[in-house]
Structure 1
Amino acid sequence: MSWLRALNATARSGLTIERRRLEPLIAFRGAAGLALVVLLSLGIFGPAVAASSAFGAYQAAIASFQRSWRARPVLALLSGGTLAVSTFLGYVSAVHTAVFMTLIALWAFLAGLFWAIGPAAGVIAASNVAMMLVTVTLPTSVLTAAGHAAMIACGAVVQAGLIVLFPVRRWGAQRDALADALAAEADYARRLREDPLAPFDPEPFVTARSAATVTRREARRRPAELRGTRGVAERVRPVLASLADPAVGAAAEGPERERVRELLAAAGSVLDTAARAVRHGEPVVIASQAFAVLEAPDTTDVLTGPALRAAARLSALLRDVVETAQGEGTSADTETLVRPTLMRMAPVALRTMRKETRGHDSPVLRHAIRTAVVAAVGYLIGVALPYGHGYWVPLAAVMVMRPDFSQTYGRAVARFGGTLVGVTIATAVVQLAHPGPYLSGALAVVSAGLMFLLMRTGYTAASACVSAYVVFLLDMSGLAVGQTIRDRVLLTLIGGILAMAAYAVYPAWETPRLRNRLADWLLADGRYAAAVVAHYADPAGARRTDVRTAVLAARTARIAWQEALERAAHEPVRHRGLSRSAAAGAQEAMAQLGRAAMLMEAHLPSRSTTPVPAAREVADALLHAVERGAKDIRQRRVPHWDEVRGTLAAWDGEGVPDQVVRSGAGLLLDTLDGLTAALDEEGSQARSR
């Protein structure tokens, strides 16, 4: 993609307003907490202290909106506490330009590294740097600085207290994550009716698994319907796929296929009903017709072999889904996902951040370096310009910068557009109406409330609201005098240009890494397939946990590939990884590889099942082949699977009684050949050029 097309695409994405479900009660709670803090501190301590406490309450509320599974009061306290510490250090060093610039660069570098922990940590850390740039303009002495920092912390405490006292939809995020996974599975069942080879994106289950990870204290208070439903639902998906697939399930046409379509439709109905019940905390009411189809006595007359076993397994699992969704089932056979407390998580987070600093090509490290340089340079530019309030430059730059190209450029355009609207309106109101401290404070609260309400609809709307909030808050404290609309918009534009230029000069392109991402996915999927095949060789001694671990690794690798491919699609760089056609073909082949392994997983033998010793040879050959194939892909060679093909040929000579094993192994080889064909086509095109 050329730079012109890339800039056009990112600008459009940044200015897009998305239709999202709004959360007015949560937005009102955040605005109420901010209003309480502003009015009390304004009446007791005056405008300057009120501005500091408002920033603490505002930042705490923003943290509670982040996509994190930590308790919201904890996020609010953590965000407000770190902002208080940051601003106090900024207050102390603000009188010395060199010292303060060094502190800003260091804080911005650490904020960039926090993206290694996750997006929520990265956003909170970046917001702390931005807020610190504003708040350090308020106090005049160390003692006053300590008081302002304390008020920032108090603002966070107020927000955390309101979250505890007035909870809105307890466990709502966890309910939504689990309900989304169930709904995605219901949609998958319906799509299988028309397309037996339909793909399934595992991301909803990855999100649901993250949501199900809780601390031990939270585990004791978690609603019963959230304790085992996900684990049971995860076992439904392979059964759905195996029932629909003609290779190991029902015949492609005839009475068997019609019966399977009825079963899949009933399964979709049951899963949809369970999803609605979990989302709203209501009892599960299943239509009698759906269960009548799943338990119809004529199933044994129509279906035979693996298809019959899959139908029986599906009926039993769906019954378990309903029971657990009503809080009546048991989760004894599901994994317990325990999240460490923040204190125990700190060493893990530090190790993760330190790991990113060891690789020069790490996108997170490059983002941290860019953020630090831009924050320091932006501060110097802002101080040098004759407009005053030069913090608008580094503030705009830090808030728009992200580890990937498309978000950074899209947010830069959105930031400028939103700031143009928000600053124009707010500055016009201030200069024409000359509101007093109380009215300015009220307008700031209204602006923040709108930001809380609209922040998920797009960055343009959020930028407009937050820009107006800052203008009104500074006017309340008496620090906005003399700065015009032109000054603020121009400084914001300079900050956005700095952020965009930094990425162009020191990028972290994803396109050249696509081959490594594909190799990682192949290795993870190959290990998953090998673990499944090996289970058939020794059912009594095999451990299902090995398969489960391999499944999770394969999901992680697949999502990493999908995210990388999406980022690469918007990058203005020449093709140095995989062409679009090769990437699309490779993705389709890899999705089918994981699906073939999943089909075999649906029929994993019990411990009393007769072993298939030859499966061990196939598993070993498959494991060796994918390890070598991953290396070939990284080194731009086309992988081959002669070892697997030879082992299967010898296996056929001996005769394999298990239809599922032989059919599944054949599907695995076919998908690997599909991957080779996709990569070989790219090589042929390169040679022809």
Structure 2
Amino acid sequence: MDVMRPVMPEIGAVARSSAAVLAVALLALLLDSGTAAVCAVGAGVVCSGVALQDSPGGRVQLVLLVTLQLTGAVLLGSLTSAHTALFLAVAALWSFGAGMQWALGRHAGLIAAAATALLIVTPPTPPTARTVAVAVLATLAAGVAQAVLIAIWPPRRWRTQRAALAWAYRSLASDARRLAEDRDAPLDPAQLTWLRDTFADTQAGRRPAAYQGGHRLPERLMAAMVALRDTGADRDLVAKLLTDAAVALDAIAESKHTARHVAEHALVRVDATAAALSGEQGEAAQRFSRQLQQAAELRFPNLLQPEIIGPLRRAVTEVRGHLQRNSPILRHAVRLAVCVVLAIAGDRFAPIMHGHWIALTVLLVLRPETAHTYTRCIGRVGGLAGGIVAASLLMLVWQPTGWPAAVVAVLLFGVAHWAFRFGYLADSAALGAAVVFLLEIDPATAGATLEDRLFSVVIGGGLAVVAHVTLPDDLLTRLHQRAGELLKTEIDYAAIVIKAYVHEFDRPTDAMSAAWQRAFRARAAFEAASGAARASRELRRWLRTYRAALNAVTTACTSLERSLPAQPPAGLPVEFVTAVDDYIEALQGAPPTPAQPWTVDVAALTAAEQKLREQAATLPSESAAARVLVAEVATITRNLVEIATTREPISAR
């Protein structure tokens, strides 16, 4: 589905970032050998990718944190690369830490892998104060330059949505102050429905998290304020809560650098006041407080609630939670550390020319995946080899080194931005070609032949596959991951069928058939994983419940597909169509992470289903197709809630 593919960042932003990367690289070439330039280009490209991610806030801080990580990798590599035994120990520890960072998400894992690559490609030359300082400063300058650029020229793709949300939050702040002063002040929850029009012409699959269903949160805040007014709670406490909430809402709407701290302190006061209320008033106040915190978290991604805690402490806690033997993240970290150490040892001790490509291949292809592990691993190796072949053929007629190689490498990394939307094969090919020219910047890593590179890539790919075979994921963990994958594909199928009832789109039959095929393949993989796991009584009970609920979801979807009218019914109220769209968005949820399989957001799903039933009650009696839809949606919701609330077994014994 095209709407699910990532979009290309703005051309102007990519051009500015690329120019900054080249400027720092050329300065490094003037001051030192190509090693510092390689570090500058690598760090600049990674920080550029972080800065250009769609996010409403926190980019500058995130880029600076990533810069520090990349600088630390370069510093360690420069100091230890000449001493093989020490370098192996440092590489093992760093690779293990990089693997554990997948617990924080896919982006964090890929950034950690890039930092490890900078450490690995450091040439084994004796360090001097000058060479180490220039490499570290070039890396630091490349990252800081990206932070400065993103602070001066923030992305403008979602400027319309940002402006609309800012206006809505300012309006809510004004309403909160009026309500604090006058308990009987009129509030109309429908006054924010215009936000839907602002978000209607954007594709939900391409929005960052802060803009997916962004119109709903202000509407919920308005409804929560109305509910709080109608509870008859203590006037003084409610007035204090609403006054502090108005301060927080104004801060959320602002773009000043002090807005984050103002929002943090206001939210702490709101939460304390809400805790002082009890009964029905307390529930309404706490619901309002949670929604305020959610709005602040979306605006300031590193804002923690309700305490003011540094994001690094949360990251450490998250990683520490995966230091147990059944965690797929821990097993990936061990696999990565072992493979990197073996790859470096092969480069240093075996007669392999330019053997650093072995470790680079491991970093580029090894992932903490349980689904399609070997297929994707081999596919990435093939894509990487294809990119290397293309770059090597170009180098037969032109062999750039120094600054020409830096220019080509930066251009190819820009191509990788674009190729990412076509899948992991195209992305691997673009990255492979870019890394070829990146290494040609420095004479110490340049000069590899096509045979040298392909030989090392094959060895690295083999290491990655063997690592998965010898240290596979825990069988029960693998089963849970497969169950999450199956659940997600079934829900994607349901979402397409439900959408076809109220929206007309191109080739709905083909879309439903493709979604069903994905669900069928996921079911086969799930059954294979369940057959491999040792079936305890608890596991058999959970499998029966899971299969029964999922079969009921499938039956409801096929019934909907059989009853699907040739065209969406004409004259459906806008409110009903909106309720269906809200249900679809709540149904699809967020993508899974390497550390956590896909799950159902029960609260959001049941609330959306309740809203859909309320809107269906207002339909005329001749709306038979819509009533069939509502009945089957109720079945889907009931069984998905059963799946989500049934505890998975934690042991196969």
TM-score of the superposed pair, with normalisation by structure 2: 0.56
Name the counterpart of 1:609. Answer: none
Choose the corresponding residue for 1:350, options 309, 316, 341.
316
On the 8 A contact 1:130/1:399 being kept in 2, the answer is no
- Relative distance call for 1:148 and 1:408 in structure 2 (3 A) is farther
Distance (whole Å) between structure 1 residues aligned to residue 361 and residue 195 of structure 2:
49
Secondary structure in 1 matching 2:293: coil
The number of residue pairs the alignment matches comes to 431
2:293 alignment partner in structure 1: 336
Match in the other structure for 1:156: 143
Counterparts in 2 of 1:335 and 1:88: CA distance versus 1, 3 Å: same
Q: 1:97 to 1:405 in 2, by over 3 A?
A: same
- Give the letter for the 2:312 counterpart: A
Q: Give the match for residue 587 of structure 1.
A: 550
Per-residue CA deviation, residues 194-253 of structure 1 (Å, 9 max, x unaligned), is: xxxxxxxxxxxxxxxxxxxxxxxxxx9973347899xxxxxxxxxxxxxxxxxxxxxxxx
Task: Quickly say closer, same or farther: Cα 1:277–1:407, change in 2 above 3 A.
Answer: closer
362, 377, 388: which one aligns with 1:397: 362
Q: Secondary structure at the residue paired with 1:33? A: helix
- 1:84 alignment partner, SS class: helix
1:223 aligns with 2:154: no
Question: Which of 461, 467, 473 is the matching residue for 2:426?
Answer: 461
Residue 450 of structure 1 is matched in structure 2 by: 415
* Mapped partners of 1:108, 1:17: distance in 2: 35
| 1:102 alignment partner in structure 2 | 89
Change (3 A) 1:598 1:384: same
State percent identity of aligned pairs.
27
Matches of 1:510 and 1:517, distance apart in 2: 10
Give the structure 1 partner of residue 246 of structure 2.
Answer: none
Aligned residue among 438, 444, 455 for 1:479: 444
Asked if 1:78 is matched to 2:65, the reply is: yes
What residue is the counterpart of 1:167 in the other structure? 154
2:111 corresponding residue in structure 1: 124
Contact (CA 8 Å) 2:25, 2:138: kept in 1 or not? Answer: no
Question: Cα offset for 1:391?
Answer: 1.6
**Separation in structure 2 between the aligned mates of residue 673 and residue 411 of structure 1, nearest angstrom:** 29
Give the Å deviation of 1:72. 2.5
What does the per-residue CA deviation read over 1:22-46, in whole Å, with 9 as the maximum and x for residues that have no partner? 2333433332222222233334545
Distance 1:411 1:38, change over 3 A: farther
Structure 1 residues without counterparts, runs of 5 or longer: 1-12, 177-219, 230-267, 281-323, 523-561, 606-663, 680-689
Amino acid at match of 1:32: A
Which residue is equivalent to 1:34?
21
Q: Distance in 2 between matches of 1:18 and 1:455?
A: 12
Opposite residue 33 of structure 1, the aligned amino acid is A
Alignment of structure 1 residues 398-413 onto 2, 5 Å: 398-406=363-371, 408-413=373-378
- Whether contact under 8 Å (2:388, 2:436) holds in the other structure is yes
Distance 2:40 2:608 in 1: 57
Structure with more relative contact order (C-alpha pairs < 8 Å, separation 6 or more)? 1
Deviations 1:536-580 (A, max 9, x none): xxxxxxxxxxxxxxxxxxxxxxxxxx9x97895497773536799
Q: Is the deviation greater in 411-420 or in 446-455? A: 411-420
In 1: Cα distance, 2:97 partner to 2:423 partner = 26
1:153, 1:346 → 2: CA distance? Answer: 20
1:574 and 2:531 equivalent?
A: yes
Q: Distance in 2 between matches of 1:669 and 1:460?
A: 35
The correspondence of residues 15-26 of structure 1 with structure 2, limited to 5 A, is 20-23=6-9, 24-26=11-13
Deviation at 1:143, TM superposition (A): 3.8
**CA distance in 1 between partners of 2:636 and 2:84 (Å):** 65
> Contact 2:358–2:456 at 8 Å: present in 1 too?
yes
- C-alpha distance in structure 1 between counterparts of 2:445 and 2:640, whole Å: 66
CA distance in structure 2 between the aligned counterparts of 1:600 and 1:572, rounded to whole angstroms: 32
1:467-488, CA deviations, whole angstroms, 9 ceiling, x for partnerless residues? 2222223222223444211111
Instruction: Give 1:456's aligned amino acid.
Output: R
Q: Report what 2:101 is aligned to.
A: 114
How many Å separate the matches in 2 of 1:18 and 1:446? 26
Instruction: Check the 8 A contact 1:20/1:456 in 2, yes or no.
Output: yes
Rounded Cα–Cα distance in structure 1 between residues aligned with 2:326 and 2:67: 33
| Alignment-derived partner of residue 428 in structure 1 | 393
Give the superposition deviation at 1:169: 1.4
CA distance in 2, matches of 1:669, 1:408: 30
- Code of the residue aligned with 1:354 in structure 2: it is R
The farther-off stretch of 594-603 and 163-172 is 594-603
Q: 2:292 is matched by which residue type in structure 1?
A: E
C-alpha distance in 2 between matches for 1:435 and 1:347? 45
CA RMSD of aligned residues (A): 4.9
- Cα contact 1:436–1:476 (8 A) shared by 2: yes
Are 2:492 and 1:505 aligned?
A: no
Deviations 1:112-151, CA, capped at 9 Å, x for gaps: 1112222222221122112221235577434411320111
Distance 1:668 1:463 in 2: 42
Q: How does 1:274-353 map to 2 (within 5 A)?
A: 274-276=199-201, 334-337=291-294, 338-339=296-297, 340=302, 344-353=310-319
Distance 1:79 1:583 in 2: 41
Secondary structure of the equivalent of 1:472? Answer: helix
Verify the 8 A CA contact 1:454 1:462 in the aligned structure 2. yes
1:47 aligns with 2:23: no
Q: Which residue of the partner structure matches residue 438 of structure 1? A: 403
